[in-house]
């Protein structure tokens, strides 16, 4: 949750326990607090991306891997979606157009009135090559 007056500041910090629970649920990776290194002492308190080290002990030593924790704001996401929808509506309204009737054309005119000679002159007729 994010505070309404400061879109980047969280109401409550994300703790190591929150991260461990997410890793367990989404990646089936069960760790303890000591496995998380480079984690802010007071927890993650704002929106953004955070690199957190995860130390995993093996028989031949300990390896450190870095994960990226991305903290988003539901409020900011909702505002961005509202802006996107408003922009789509503005574009849709801008694209409105109408086609007026062309001069010299009657409603009863259609393409069948073009004679074979006129079609040949304009390149619309079938040539001898097309008949093969």
The pLDDT value recorded for residue 129 is 52
Q: Residue 120: CA atoms inside 13 Å, Cβ hemisphere, count? A: 5
86: which residues sit within 8 A by CB, 6+ positions away?
none
> 104, 30 in Cβ contact below 8 A?
no
| Model pLDDT for residues 56-98, shown as the tens digit of each residue | 989 999 999 999 999 987 777 788 888 889 988 888 877 666 6
Structure confidence at residue 63 (pLDDT): 94
pTM here is 0.52
* Per-residue pLDDT tens digits for 38-53: 899 999 999 889 999 9
| Beta strands at 61-71 and 44-46: parallel, antiparallel or unpaired | unpaired
pLDDT of 128 above 80: no
At 42 the pLDDT is 93
Please report the pLDDT score of residue 32 as a whole number. 92
Q: Tens digits of per-residue pLDDT, 21-41?
A: 999 999 998 999 999 998 999
């Amino acid at each position: 949750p994010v505070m309404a007056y400061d879109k980047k500041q969280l109401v409550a910090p994300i703790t190591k326990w929150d991260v461990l629970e997410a890793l367990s649920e989404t990646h089936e990776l069960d760790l303890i607090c000591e496995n998380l290194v480079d984690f802010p002492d007071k927890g993650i308190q704002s929106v953004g991306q955070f690199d957190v080290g995860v130390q995993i002990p093996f028989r031949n030593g300990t390896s450190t891997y870095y994960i990226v924790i991305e903290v988003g704001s539901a409020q900011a996401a909702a505002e961005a979606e509202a802006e996107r929808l408003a922009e789509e509506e503005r574009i849709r309204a801008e694209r409105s157009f109408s086609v007026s009737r062309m001069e010299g054309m009657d409603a009863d005119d259609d393409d069948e009135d073009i004679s074979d000679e006129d079609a040949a002159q304009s390149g619309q007729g079938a040539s001898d090559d097309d008949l093969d």
